[in-house]
A and B are shown apart, each in its own frame.
Chain A
Amino acid sequence: ETGVTQSPTHLIKTRGQQVTLRCSSQSGHNTVSWYQQALGQGPQFIFQYYREEENGRGNFPPRFSGLQFPNYSSELNVNALELDDSALYLCASSLNWGDTEAFFGQGTRLTVV
């Protein structure tokens, strides 16, 4: 167990809908990153939050947005869902913004139909 928890574990949504995924970071960690892992591929970086501010973003459209709360937990929001958004969404927390390792949660499996 890493101490990073994500909810829900599975989710089915219809194309065009909106979804919110949640992540509780490991105790003491102030940096949270989100990744999308499509079937058979490696995780792809979506964005990172450090002390409630987004400070890095991958190649994802603006309909992917997020929040980090004062307790460092985080949300990933995806609007106007597309079939290609079906994937495992991973949250990772780190002790700090710098050169430290990332601890991953179990992920949320999102299926868009």
Chain B
Amino acid sequence: AQSVSQHNHHVILSEAASLELGCNYSYGGTVNLFWYVQYPGQHLQLLLKYFSGDPLVKGIKGFEAEFIKSKFSFNLRKPSVQWSDTAEYFCAVNRKNAGNMLTFGGGTRLMVKP
């Protein structure tokens, strides 16, 4: 079974600071990778996804993530955060061609100070 680790449980940044959230997964086969965001009181929204191709993936709201297969990592980045990025971020993985059953990490709660 696969598992996902998010190393930072809580992150506090000031506006305009750069963001990098770590995500590592354990699974020996081929995977799809996702980052979801959960704003306070809202549903989980997809930020970006990786299925194949260019390992540097660009998502919505200026977020990007890089898949490094050798490190089993899919870290999320944003060059300059805004107060409105305050939310909880979840990394998720599923096995390729095996349905949409997602395994999520424990989440990282990001607070951006104005």
Residues of B near A48 (CB, < 8 A) are 99-101
- A45 contacts B101, CB within 8 Å? yes
- B90 contacts A94, CB within 8 Å? no
Contacts from B to A (Cβ < 8 Å) = 4, 6, 32, 34, 36, 42-46, 49, 51, 90, 92, 96-97, 99-107
Q: A42-B90, A42-B106, A99-B96 are in contact. Are A56 and B43 (CB under 8 A)?
A: no
The count of chain A contact residues (Cβ–Cβ below 8 Å) is: 30
* 10 CB-based A-B contacts, threshold 8 Å: A41-B106, A42-B104, A42-B107, A56-B101, A58-B101, A92-B44, A98-B100, A102-B100, A104-B36, A105-B43
Residue A106 lies at the interface, judged by CB distance under 8 Å to chain B: yes
Residues of A near B36 (CB, < 8 A) are 104
- A102 contacts B99, CB within 8 Å? no
